[in-house]
A and B are shown apart, each in its own frame.
Chain A
Amino acid sequence: MELFELTALEIARKVRNREVSAAQVLESHLHHITAVDGVPGTLGGDQNTEPDKVHAFITLTADRARQQAAAIDAQIAAGQDPGPLAGVPVSIKDIFCVAGTASTAASKILANFTAPYTATAVERWEQAGAVVLGKVNLDEFTYGSSNESSAFQPAPRNPWNTAHVPGGSSGGSAAAVAALEGPISLGTDTAGSIRLPAAYCGVVGLKPTYGRVSRYGLIAFGSSLDCPGPLTRTVADSALALGAMAGADSRDATAATVPVPNYLAELEKDVRGLKIGLSPDYFRITYFDAASGDLMEQPVPASVRQAVLDGAQKLAQRGAEIVENIPMPHTKFGIPAYFVISRVEAASNLHRYDGVKYGYRTIGQVEDLRSLYRQSRAQGFGLQPKLRILMGMYVSAAQYSEQYYNRALRIRSLIRRDFDEAFQRVDTLLTPSTPAPAFAIGGIYGDSVLMQYADQLLVTGNHAGVPGISVPAGFEESGLPLGIHFFAPDFREDLLFRAGAAYEAASGPRNLAPAWVRGASSSLEVQS
């Protein structure tokens, strides 16, 4: 087995035991990335370049990583413990600031922006011994579920079938982890942006409780919804990654002061005695008919339903109690409410990109300040930020805010109440991750409304602030991965890890990466 195939737990153990050096682990990964990733996403790049590669990265910071690995090895040599992530290569969604590294948000407007500070989540991983490989691609400003909206092309592709999207917005993260380009990636989840690509790429994606992980250094989308979280290949790695970054932060007032448990120890407890709920409201999709505007409803596909029921059965066999028919009546309003709230916050968060202080400024002639703003923003932002600004400005205007924004806030409270009531009866909820597996590139892009319905079963967690985890649940007939998903009460990520790990164990060994990905490095070896 190659070093790049190891989990984070295995790497950290081997590095701490001096079985391998952090430098060896890093070089194995860098070599593998060269083989599978292809050209990085670049501003103005061609989306069709190397259609059989993954293209997870925007910026690979190999030199910086080598310095970090050398520092870890020096610590080990000096008899010091670098920490629980000793020598573990990680990638970072390019929506987090890392000092001295370009932080682009996959947007032209920030393409030249280098932050002088590092996000708390990244800083904590580094302090725990992680080695940062670089920054991975995403939908522009995280606005999307496919990564096609990135201004840095080619956009990431799904390693299980490179004609399909990896999902989004943490698509580069999911694709990187699935393609063995580092066992951990840091993503963000505003409406499913970690869990959906995790499901699409057959990896584990955790959205922690709002406030469990500091948002400092995370370029904001919907500030009241955004959650940093890890994408990993195993549930244990997810527990390891969360434990290394969770906790209060003096630089983020919304980061909770709730103590951080030892998630890896909790994970051993299995599911005996846990009450796991199923809700009929998570087995259907509600959407607006584009022609009539009517609210339509359809059941999720049988394969998706079956994956969840199969999961319930496996957990029941390990001693969990399955509770059916938990009502979650406001689930269907999650997407419309999200559309309003996230866009109001997004429009406001995007105000600062005005071409005055940093980032893109128009190179054209401007006659006054207004036209400097207009031209810089018109040229710097892609389609998705513009759509979000337009809608956000509209629904928060004084004459409409009661009708849209305030109503959306009321829906949000009702969704929260659904969860409060459900968690009176059960410890976790088991749901599908997505209504369908990854769609084909170019399939529904542009119709951002339809694409957003893919998040319908996940966004409720962002409204309510509760944590959720998507774990791989085999493959559809098409060969594309499926995921199942658990919700837990505030700050009970431990329950998610217990349920996820139990399901993982019950499912037996699984194919962690596509065959071509494993083979790519060895063929490179032969050539060299």
Chain B
Amino acid sequence: MEYEAVIGLETHIQLNTASKIFCSCKADSWNAAPNTNICPVCTGMPGVLPVLNRRVVEKGTLLAAAMHADLQPVSFFDRKNYFYPDLPKGYQISQYDRSLAKGGYMDVPQADGTLRRVTIWKLHMEEDAGKTKNDLISGSRRIDFNRCGVPLIEMVTGPDLRSADEAANYLTRLRQLLRWIGVSEADMEKGHLRCDANVSLRRKGETILNTKTEIKNVNSIEAVRTAIVKEIDRQSRAYEHGERIEAWTLEWDEDSQTLKKMRSKETEADYRYFREPDLLPVYLTDEWRAAILQDFPELPLARRARFMAGYGLPEYDAELLTAERSLSDYFEKAVQAYGGEAKRVSNWLMNDVLRMLNDSGKTTAQLALTPAYLADIIKLVEAGTINTNTGKGLLEKVNASGKSPEEIVRAEGLAKVSDDGAIRAVVEQVLAESPGEVAAYRGGKVGLIGFFTGQVMKKMQGKADAQKARALLEEMLR
């Protein structure tokens, strides 16, 4: 029997606002000691009230626009009621039936070059809960409220993904997009991007949806891929044995790389949603919306396509150069400053500038080597003013000093020496100093030409026109 996997992903995206969604506590508590980033509002003290952080709506709007979702002029917050110690109010303020945006989709390129269109079923704003830790030694539960009130977007896809790889690709593209539009740091290890996966199987060709299981607690893209592969495997074996799939909730255990059953999910919990009376409706007016979307960027896939079509870049280059928005911006600025063939700029960027970035851990914005300077260096090499090796060394020098390439070439006398007389004098000197090698060359070991060229370049601090030096050597060794 041939089965096909049906996968939907529920993601929780932590927005990178400065403060929490309903109070003025810092949103980011990474490395903060437990319960040090809290206030009466986010710990649900009696009598205090939530006040909406407008930046949350703005970031949510950017994401909704990027997902081609229908932004709603009016949306509401609701209470989702349940008891848990790390939920201090006993309800989570979320959005239910009238959320910020409706519908939407994301196109995800697959390894075989096709696009998988993933529909968005739900996109809403909500507050995060705290963290519970079971202290095994004391047998007690410890609650950290720091995360309470951190702004989240919950985004749920339709059951549109067909393999573990597709699910992983979706997350990779989502992470790229979140960073691209600047709404989340999207670091899965830090919980900025959390993912639960709903997995079921069906016979190929069928359109029904079978009972699904839900995989929780997966905190890397690789873990999502592995967990789904294992669950697909488990379910297909169960079907082969004629067993029924039950609606379990499974927990991914990273250490043992296995799925563990958390609970059976017989009945849907009743959260008794109702409108949050402490908050006004969210009115996304035309003016506000226009202001938020005023500088909405070209999205990664569109830019990738344009780099291929407009600049003639190979797919590999276009993909790499659009991995991050700042890098692709850098590339385009350099191309414009250079004015020549974009592929040359791409080569310099991918071979050398990316290495500089990786080695230094810096972003393109932090480089003293501006796109214009990079273009200048390429032009100096193209014009024959400096040779390629000098050009590569110049990248570091410009970046270290912040001076323009021309200035450094002038000050350090790096320009290529093409004067026949000057090179001829050095050639004569080299030949005089190496009588043995000269004899060997003349005896047929023509490979020694490299040795002679190297000696000349060395004596001239690399500034000699290498081709000219070689030609002169060949002539004089004849």
Contact = CB atoms under 8 A, between A and B. Distances in A.
Interface of A: 96-97, 103, 105, 110, 113, 115-117, 119, 215-220, 222-224, 250-254, 344-345, 347-348, 350-354, 356-358, 369, 373, 393, 396-398, 401, 405
B141 A369 contact: yes
Main secondary structure of the interface of B (DSSP, over half): loop
Contacts of B83: 351, 354, 373
Contacts of A103: 46-47
Contacts of B88: 352, 356-357
Given A217-B48, A344-B272, A354-B83, 16 more contacts: A117-B45, A216-B47, A219-B46, A252-B49, A254-B278, A254-B279, A344-B274, A345-B277, A347-B81, A350-B90, A352-B44, A356-B143, A357-B88, A397-B270, A401-B272, A401-B274
A115 B90 contact: no
A96 B43 CA distance: 18
Contacts, number: 100
A119 B91 CA distance: 22
16 contacts: A97-B47, A103-B47, A116-B40, A216-B47, A216-B48, A223-B278, A252-B49, A253-B49, A253-B50, A254-B278, A254-B279, A345-B277, A348-B81, A358-B45, A398-B270, A401-B272
A220 B79 CA distance: 15
B89 interface: yes
Tell me which of B43, B50, B79 has the highest count of chain A C-beta atoms within 10 A of its own C-beta.
Answer: B79
B312 to A, nearest CB: 54
A398 B272 contact: yes
B366 to A, nearest CB: 37
Contacts of A353: 46
B91 A251 contact: no
A220 B277 CA distance: 11
B48 A117 contact: yes
Contacts of B438: none
Contact of B79 (A348, A350, A373): A348
Interface string B22-57: 000000000000000000100111111111100000
Interface string B435-450: 0000000000000000
A352 B274 contact: no
B365 interface: no
A369 B85 contact: yes
B18 interface: no
Interface string B82-110: 01010011110000000000000000000
Contacts of B262: none
Contacts of A401: 272, 274
> Interface residues of A: mostly helix, strand, loop or mixed?
loop
Given A110-B46, A348-B81, A223 B90 contact: no
A96 B89 contact: no
B272 A215 contact: no
Contacts of A224: 277
Contacts of B270: 397-398
Contacts of A351: 81, 83, 89-91
Nearest to A97: B47
B280 interface: yes
Contacts of B46: 97, 103, 105, 110, 113, 115, 219-220, 352-353
Contacts of A350: 90
B56 to A, nearest CB: 13
Contacts of A347: 81
B85 A356 contact: yes
A110 B46 CA distance: 9
Max chain A C-beta neighbours (<10 A), residue from B48, B79, B89: B48
Nearest to B80: A348
A397 B49 contact: no
Contacts of A251: 48-49, 51
B48 A354 contact: no
Contact of B90 (A344, A348, A397): A348
B143 to A, nearest CB: 8
- How many chain B residues sit at the interface, stated as a range, is 20 to 34
User: What 4 A-B pairs come out closest when comparing CB atoms?
Assistant: A351-B90, A224-B277, A223-B277, A396-B272
Given A253-B50, A369-B85, A393-B272, A352 B277 contact: no
Interface in B267-292: 270, 272, 274, 277-280
Contacts of A352: 44, 46, 88-90
Given A345-B277, A397-B272, A398-B270, A119 B47 contact: yes
Contacts of B50: 253
Interface string B44-76: 111111111000000000000000000000000
Interface in B229-246: none
Given A253-B278, A369-B85, A357 B51 contact: no
Contacts of B43: 357
A410 to B, nearest CB: 14
Nearest to A345: B277
Contacts of A356: 85, 88, 143
B118 to A, nearest CB: 29
Contacts of B277: 222-224, 254, 345
Nearest to B279: A253
Given A253-B279, A253-B280, A354 B47 contact: no
A216 B49 contact: yes
A115 B45 contact: yes
A198 B280 CA distance: 31
B49 A215 contact: yes
B129 to A, nearest CB: 13
Nearest to A222: B277
A105 B143 CA distance: 26
Interface in B335-359: none
B87 to A, nearest CB: 9
Nearest to A370: B83
Contacts of B45: 115-117, 358
B151 to A, nearest CB: 16
A223 B91 CA distance: 14
A113 B45 CA distance: 10
Contact of A348 (B51, B143, B274, B279): B274
Contacts of A97: 46-47
Nearest to B268: A398
A235 B143 CA distance: 50
A220 B46 CA distance: 8
A345 B45 CA distance: 16
A97 B40 CA distance: 12
A250 B274 CA distance: 24
A219 B51 contact: no
Interface in B125-149: 141, 143
A220 B272 contact: no
A455 to B, nearest CB: 19
A219 B79 CA distance: 17
Nearest to A226: B277
B63 to A, nearest CB: 23
Contacts of B90: 348, 350-352, 354
A357 B86 CA distance: 10
A217 B44 contact: no
Given A103-B46, A348-B91, A252 B51 contact: yes
Contact of B274 (A105, A117, A405): A405
A116 B46 CA distance: 11
A373 B46 CA distance: 17
Contacts of A398: 270, 272
Contacts of B274: 344-345, 348, 396, 401, 405
A358 B274 CA distance: 26
A356 B143 CA distance: 10
Contacts of B91: 348, 351
Most interface-central of B45, B81, B91, B143 (chain A CB within 10 A): B45
Given A348-B274, A351-B83, A369-B141, A253 B47 contact: no
A415 to B, nearest CB: 17
A393 B47 CA distance: 21
A384 B7 CA distance: 48
Given A345-B277, A351-B81, A351-B91, A253 B44 contact: no
